[in-house]
Structure 1
Amino acid sequence: MKKKAAVYLQSLQNAYSSICGLMMVVTNQEDDRLTQPSGLSEEFGDVLKFAGNSLKNAIPNILTKVKDIQKPIVYETSSGFKLLIAPVVTKQFRPYFILAGILVDENTKEWVEGMVYQSKPLEEHKLWERFLCGARVFTAEHIKRILNQMEELAEIMGMVLEREQDEDHYAYKLQLMNLVRLMDSTSPTWLQGVLTIFNRVMGLEFTGYAANDLDGELFRVTETVGLNEDNAMLGASFYPGEGYLGQVGLTKQMGYWEKSDRDPRASFFTMRGIKPKVIICYPIKYDNQLFGVLFGGSSILPEISEQLADMGMLVANQISSALYALNNEIITERRRIRIGIFQELAQDAVVIKELDTFLQILVKSIHQQIDSTFLCLLLYQQRGGGMDIYTPFKDQADGYSAYAANVEATYFADDRPGVAMLRRPIKRQWEGRSLLEFPIALEHRLLGVIAVHFENERKMKESTMFLNAIHFLVITKMQLETVTVPLTQTAIFNLLHDNLLIWNPEAYNKSAKAKELTVGFLRELNRPNDEVELIGNASVLTEYDPALLTKYFGETPLVIVLRQYQSCREGRSDKERTGIEPYEFLGTVLLIMVWYLEKGGRDWKVTLPVPVKESILRPAELYLSSLAPGAREPRLEIRVQLTAREEEILAHVMHGLNNKEIAEKLFISAHTVKNHITKIYEKLGVSGRVQAISQMYQGPSPEPAPKRQSPK
């Protein structure tokens, strides 16, 4: 027991002992005392030992006999002396009792004297006579009043013990909840362990988790605690809005219901033999992304306290954070794999000569990454009409032929040039499937489509960037195969740079900043213009494998600089690097600037993967320090003035957001965003996002447009 509570109980006992004029102590059946005796006298111990028992066993023997009492009683010892005993009732603590005494009933005093003379040796008679003369003699009315006072005292002490118990229990539950934070969320048994803790914290009969893998679609129970392993709840499913759990899945708000066994919305449980009187359910969501619902119930508890509901919300939040982190790790890993697949396909586009062979490999790779039930790439035959079909599903040729005919009629008829599809994917229904059609377009000509069926919006959003990048590969391969329109190295460079914005906007932005730093540093050193141009071009292609770039450009200075940069980044020794001037110098400068962007202003120098000559490192350090770390990032030197709203929208465009995402962030309509972007393009003299973003990184930005002065 905490010291504060023990002191309080002792002071209560002392006060009541003084009022009643009796010895008092609070103890249990094993005589583990909560308080020290108040008003203790030697005679008290003598009375308890009267029948020959030791003092150590006397109290346990008495309390064993009265352990089931519910109200204060008068207990008479074998000697005729009496004790008053009151139970201290609590929910969880083992029973405690208040003992008060010793007293003598006025009606039995003479009988007690007789018992002493008969039972005790002659030499002890005078001792007992003194005790009897000093013992309190109470009337029946007086004893009744003391019993009432003891009942009040027992009730107060019970409340003190209950409060301390609740505090200890709350602390225990908080310790349990801390275990959730310490558990390894990558373990296969993690969620089962979390549900077990949730069940104990909430004091429920059962707990479960229903996952929502397909956003906005079916929920399915994947884990349960407190039920048999083969319970009917596992694998059970429900739709948003269906029953108690479906309502939480639909509204994404916590739900709590009492007397739920009388409500038809509990049929999800009752039809499986579970009849909870109380149900509580939490949405497992993070940043408005719903992963599932956490639920629990009990057929015993009549209600769940507000304090427990709040604790349950803390557990739900911890589950949400862990699932969000796991989901991000999975998405990041899939994205990394897709970037690798894209680079492999980019090499295949150069190595594989036949367009048909390349496109068949392409659609198989797409299918491996997206795992769609419907996927094809269609190219329109410009001369004879008809569609070339590429799909991994060779056994469904008839179905894809019918779809190809539909696409030809929809987009390639004489009076339907397909202009609406030139810039963005289109959603269409075809034979009960919701398809997303990605245009394959070049110079305002629609050449074909890539059609994919996605199971849900989440997968569609995740895969769109990858499929936009695939469009670039198809166009590049088709241009490589076109003898009449050969691609120049400048055109290939621009295609590679523009495509980086599609499949990796963060890398695109980093490369633009790296170009600004490298070009600025070389100009600071008065290096030749051809070196300045060379390092600027190399800066925007650092994400590409030099082996791939060799196939596009050959063994050019651009590729040599990037290979030198890659060697430095991989920590190769001086002997393994080219040593060719000025490429070694340019590759080293590029490493320093990229490393500075990745590691930050404090750590870049000490974490460089290779030693750098002082003649390069010192000037670079001075140059970077002159940029005043923490100052605002350099932006475009706009020759025309944009409004504050236009600058705000342009900043979001730079970070790769589409019109809908910008509209949601700024709380305006997508149509308004489109109008602003059109005006921005007109002012900048560009025709698209890629050109606008490229121009943004050509120099520092002016101050925002001044606010209009209100008329006086």
Structure 2
Amino acid sequence: MASATELLEKVQQTFAAQYGLTFFLTDRNGTMLTSVEGGSNLCSMMLAEGTLEEMRNILRYDGRINRPFMYEISSGIHIMAAPVMNGADISHYLWAGVLVEEEAEFDAPADDHETVPVLHENNRREWLELADRIAEMTGLCLQESPAAPLADLSLDRFRKSVQQHEAATAELFSQVTEDGGEIEFMGIAEQTGEDTYTVTRIIGRAAEKLKGKQFIIGEGFLGRAALTEEPAYWEDIGRDRRSRIFSSLEQRPQLLFTDTAQMHDGGIAVLFGGSFAKKRASASTRTLMQMTSILTESSLMVEGLREENAQQLSRLTSLVEICRLMSSTPDPRRMILILLDISINLVEGPFSLILIKDSKNGKGKLITRGKYDGEVSQYIRSMMEQTRQLSQLPEDTDGEPYLLTLPNGQRAIECPLSYGDELQGILSVGIEDASKLDLQEHIAFLQTLSIIGGVSLQLAGQRETCIEEEKTEALHLAVQEMDEAVYERSKEAAELAAVTTTRLEFPEASARAVVRACQLSHYSVEFIRRIFPEGDTAAVMETGNAILQHHDIPHTDSMSVAGYIYALCTSYTKNERLEDAEALPQMDGEALDAFCSLVRTAHVSEVEFSLESGTETEDVQDIAEAVKHMDHLSPREQEVLALLAQGRNNQDIAEILYISAHTVKNHITKIFHKLDVSDRAGAISKVYRHLHKY
């Protein structure tokens, strides 16, 4: 039979293998009584450097130490201690270490960092509870006469199962129920409903008939354990009705032991075991059951940690795969299908759906996967109200995922798909019964997924935009070959349209359509519709041409303002007469005011610029030098302003500086504020004042 010290060291080795900690036992004065068990090199190094003496100093105050505690032995590095009880008195102290706070810096070999257990606020209590349970087990090992079944329990086999990632709980139960022992069956019941538990694991006699059996909290012996969460021994219960869960067996157990074990996800499992032959539990059996309960809880914790790590690895692998897929396809629809597929499968929810706006036609789309039990139109109305027609992020979300109940009563995690402050769409993933921990993991994963999705959709739109811009530029240059004068007029009209739409804060897609229509005004509407079938360019031209011909266009027409700006720009550049533009049917007073103000200011500016001498390169250099003296602007704002003063539009600036047009617009807004001007003309005027000054 193993001695108490030998048995204790085996227990320490077992838990060291499970948790990556180093364990040792001291008396009340700090004298070490067992060898140091565990592979934590950092802990061994700190013990060698004087930590043991510091621990002895702590134990001078052992009158105050009556429960497990953590001691910070160095910055961010902790060791645990738990009192070992002998009856009502403290006989020893169990030490376990070390745990390192997240982001703590410590001097240890690089390959040790991965094996050191991490301590953070939400697992501190879990670690202390573990130390308390192992201290309890240590007390059992230190009994003067260890029970034979406990000493004979092969902790080496159990530890090997843990290290090899095998079914350690099943190995433990097999040892406990081996032939000749007093315990004939061991099992675990896990919570599968609000009040329902199901036997999920069982080994021993009649295991096949008991697996899958259910009971309700408070019902029978097992239900009582789930309710009280306290260990209990039930003897001579062959005729007791509270053992009804065993009624399908030919014989009911005579002896039953029940206890509970905490799962890694915070849930409670019911542990039970018993005998069909023995009516009474001997002292050795009680000790064995107490030890088995502690080891089972430890094993379940390790299983939970491993499962969580496997899930995290799976999700990380999925995110890498998503990034690869997203980067390899320019098709927004395919991206949407990828987002739907990944989200519904990893969250294991009943449905996933994406509500997205189509920048080409200004309409919305709802694409779903799985089963959404409700009126789709009701959901769309709800989201349109929250996002103001998909134009802004839902209030109080800061662009992060959030949990909500949909109009149909189903619960879902809602994830904005955004790029900066620009909303691309909404990803909604249905969830069923999930623990608090699972919800946190789902939300964290979906937040990352939605960021990837939002950026990818934006980049896909930019790729499509680049293709359209290339076609536009090619057609525009073709006009130059045919008629230089027409080319110059269309170029000027496009520049006027770019500035006017910016002043009116047109949506980017609509502004591009107006500018493109002005550039290609020499072509027929039918030709443009064939070349750009998806966009609004042809519609802008059609509406604008009707206004130029003084046809009646309803003010409610979605293209009326865009077409009006096109008509203003093309009519003005034809004869350089503002009166021609003002004579058109007035569709929008604000648009007319913005255009007229621009033309008057631009005309004056052109006259002033024409008086400057020197080459274009010298002008650019002079402008850049003048802007550098405007030191209240950031370096990036200076770059934007210099290009602005050269007559570049937002898209030109974005391409030159490798930033988005949206970012350019933000910089311009800040420049206007810092220069105390209201438009581009005012900003350019400030540049030229500095130019003459320096």
Task: Using structure 2 for the length normalisation, give the TM-score.
Answer: 0.45
Max Rg structure: 1
Task: Using structure 1 for the length normalisation, give the TM-score.
Answer: 0.44
